[in-house]
Amino acid sequence: GDSVTQMEGPVTLSEEAFLTINCTYTATGYPSLFWYVQYPGEGLQLLLKATKADDKGSNKGFEATYRKETTSFHLEKGSVQVSDSAVYFCALSDPQGAQKLVFGQGTRLTINP
């Protein structure tokens, strides 16, 4: 079945550091890919998405590019802030099935001032 694998956390960085959170997937067909963010005590919010190969999703300084050849969707940000501290989930949805999102295990990110 479809699956998503994220880099192990937790990840701790200093403010203004460069961030990469790796995400790879296994899927039949051509899924859409997502990054969700969960701030402490809150539900998940969609951060960015990409629906086809080579698409780049971006939002709030975060970017991720849909790489079909490497089945990856790595999340990057050039200069992180303390307010970026959260749990980040990579996810996919199969446009054929389209009944659910398949999530990675989540990566907890802590940014120190």
Of 84, 65, 68, nearest in space to 18 by CA: 84
45 binds other proteins (CB under 8 A): yes
Within residues 78-97, the interface with other proteins by CB under 8 A covers 89, 93, 95
- Segment (H or E) for 109: strand 107-112
Size of the site for other proteins (CB under 8 A): 23
104 binds other proteins (CB under 8 A): yes
Give the nearer residue to other proteins in terms of CB position, either 32 or 77.
32
Shortest Å distance, C-beta 70 to other proteins: 21
Give the nearer residue to other proteins in terms of CB position, either 56 or 78.
56
Shortest Å distance, C-beta 78 to other proteins: 25
CA distance 75 to 93: 17
**DSSP code, position 84:** G
DSSP string spanning 14-57? ETT--EEE-EEEE-SS--EEEEEEE-TTS-EEEEEEE-STT-EE
In the list 24, 51, 59, 72, the residue contacting other proteins (rule: CB under 8 A) is 51
